Structure 1
Amino acid sequence: MVIRPVPSRRQAIADDLRHQITTGHLKAGERLPSEAQLATRYTVSTPTLRSALALLQGEGLVEKIHGSGNFVRHPLRRITYIGGAGAPTAWTAFSAPLRMTARTTNIEGHSHLSTLLNVPPRTPLTEVLFTTHEGKTPHSLAHIYVPRDLAPTGHPAVSFLPEQIAVSLADLRPPLAEVQERITARLPTQEEATALRISTSLAIISLTRVATDTTGRVVEAALLVLPGDRADALFTTRLMTEERSSKE
């Protein structure tokens, strides 16, 4: 005889709500009853109920909007970050276009940024925070840092577009010689989770991209946050086999 473990209360609640979502009883965009109402319905404490909702938030089935409640999440399109040799700029290296907003701030490089960009502490930098959206839902975050003298000019700070920064960098610096990309899987900070409307238990892809020009100067550092339930990373190295064969 096989003895199957009895699911915990939080797992049983998550299973029931998941079934209602997948069968269409609870529809995408629909607001769930309040946490107090659900706790009463399932005869559990509020912390247990929130723990069950956290499971569904981690699976991308439920979205918690602070001040509004918990909602059945619309299915999100998965996108791919395209890296590797010859990759485009960090803010345009996605397989599908998304609506993007930007906020630009002039800052002084603190210890972490000064190390990343290989500049003295308190060096003037321009930070651009890009937030991509699918509909009204935040999709990913990108903090872009460039030396102040390479930042676009002649436009209001909040109106910078990715293309404007790319053109400015191309005009003001020598060609790129190297791009390094480092990927880490981790849990989001509370600030990141709030900005992306995800659970702090949902793993994210954290990508650091550093671009260096032919003079050895770091001209861009990008810190990207891609939630694991909607993003992949693809790196391709193209080997010049035909060219090598012709030279031989």
Structure 2
Amino acid sequence: MPSRRDAIADDLRDRIATGRLKPGERLPSESHLATQYRVSTPTLRSALAALQVEGLVEKVHGKGNFVRRPLRRITYIGGGRTLDGQAAADSALRVTVRTTRIRARGHLATLLKVPASSPLTEFFCLSHEGERPHNLARIYVPCDLASAAALREPLPYEGVTTWLTRLRPPPTEVRERVGVRLPTPEEASTLHISPALAVLALTRQTADITGRVVEAALLVLPGDRADAVFTTHYLIDEKETEG
């Protein structure tokens, strides 16, 4: 037999799925809902928290709980330099880029295989759908590879990804690590997501033909809207197919 918390979540979930509660609609106050379902406020909040984790409900500080509008899916293509091309080209999705000079320390020095305090260029990329933050990426490149123009002028996201493909010697290997974790407080605040919502965290290293790491990227994609796709191409010996 389901708990009261689960029963409340199931009822609200059904009301959202059938359109009785519409996207963007504000839910009744928590005290009203608690009275309606004849439960304590903590039990009611626990049910709402389950729906928040599922991405069906969002809590806006000082305003209440709202049915979440459908979110654009994010597809990360393994081995690629951007999120899916359609999303990048979609005018509804805009990306802001902030460029900063920093020093390699700790994890970054290890990722880029450079001595501690080596100068790096950081591209902080944050995408928005309307006013809503969508996903974020931090891209790091050794300063001797980053042009002075990239630091002096605002560079669109497409410009960053195009510039990275033109490095000399060109990149020849991409290594990616994918994990699931809870967001840091800074990530949750930047992306306007619940600290209880898991994120897809991707760490990417790109090396050139000499083995030098020319780029490291840390991407954070909210788990309620992200997919990662990896395609493997096999080389088939023609002699084997003839046999």
Please indicate the TM-score interval, normalised by the length of the shorter structure: 0.7 to 0.9
1:41: Cα distance to partner? 4.1
- Structure 1 counterpart of 2:231, from 214, 228, 236: 236
What is the DSSP-based 3-state SS (H/G/I as helix, E as strand, rest coil) of the residue aligned with 1:19?
helix
Aligned residues of 2:99 and 2:151 also touching (Cα < 8 A):
no
Aligned residues of 1:58 and 1:198 also touching (Cα < 8 A):
no
- Structure 1 counterpart of 2:72, from 67, 77, 80: 77
1:15: Cα distance to partner? 2.0
Q: 1:243 to 1:230 in 2, by over 3 A?
A: farther
Partner of 1:201: 196
Q: 1:69 to 1:108 in 2, by over 3 A?
A: farther
1:155: Cα distance to partner? 5.5
Partner of 2:163: 168
1:51 correspondence with 2:46: yes
State the distance in 2 between where 1:103 and 1:67 align. 30
Q: CA RMSD in A?
A: 2.8
State the distance in 2 between where 1:239 and 1:204 align. 31
- Structure 2 counterpart of 1:88, from 67, 76, 80: 80
State the distance in 2 between where 1:176 and 1:67 align. 48
State the distance in 1 between where 2:108 and 2:190 align. 21
1:28: Cα distance to partner? 0.5
> Structure 1 length as normaliser, TM-score?
0.82
Partner of 2:135: 140
1:35: Cα distance to partner? 3.4
One-letter identity of the residue aligned with 1:33: P
Partner of 2:11: 16
Question: Which segment drifts farther, 180-189 or 168-177?
Answer: 168-177
Describe the superposition over 1:140-179 as per-residue Cα deviations: whole angstroms up to 9, x where unpaired. 2211111123334336668322232234334553111211
Q: 1:40 to 1:156 in 2, by over 3 A?
A: farther
State the distance in 2 between where 1:10 and 1:216 align. 54
Q: 1:121 to 1:66 in 2, by over 3 A?
A: farther
State the distance in 2 between where 1:192 and 1:138 align. 11
Aligned residues of 2:77 and 2:83 also touching (Cα < 8 A):
no
1:239: Cα distance to partner? 2.9
After TM superposition, the structure 1 = structure 2 runs for residues 82-231 of structure 1, keeping only pairs within 5 Å, are: 82-83=77-78, 87-89=79-81, 91-93=82-84, 96-97=87-88, 98-154=93-149, 159-231=154-226
What is the DSSP-based 3-state SS (H/G/I as helix, E as strand, rest coil) of the residue aligned with 1:105?
strand
> Structure 2 length as normaliser, TM-score?
0.83
Aligned residues of 1:13 and 1:49 also touching (Cα < 8 A):
yes
One-letter identity of the residue aligned with 1:62: V
One-letter identity of the residue aligned with 1:135: G
Q: 1:50 to 1:236 in 2, by over 3 A?
A: same
1:94: Cα distance to partner? 5.0
1:235: Cα distance to partner? 1.0
Question: Which segment drifts farther, 32-41 or 66-75?
Answer: 32-41
Aligned residues of 1:140 and 1:196 also touching (Cα < 8 A):
yes
Would you say how many aligned residue pairs link Structure 1 and Structure 2? 237
One-letter identity of the residue aligned with 2:28: P
1:43: Cα distance to partner? 4.4
1:206: Cα distance to partner? 1.3
What is the DSSP-based 3-state SS (H/G/I as helix, E as strand, rest coil) of the residue aligned with 2:144?
helix
What's the % identity of the aligned pairs? 61
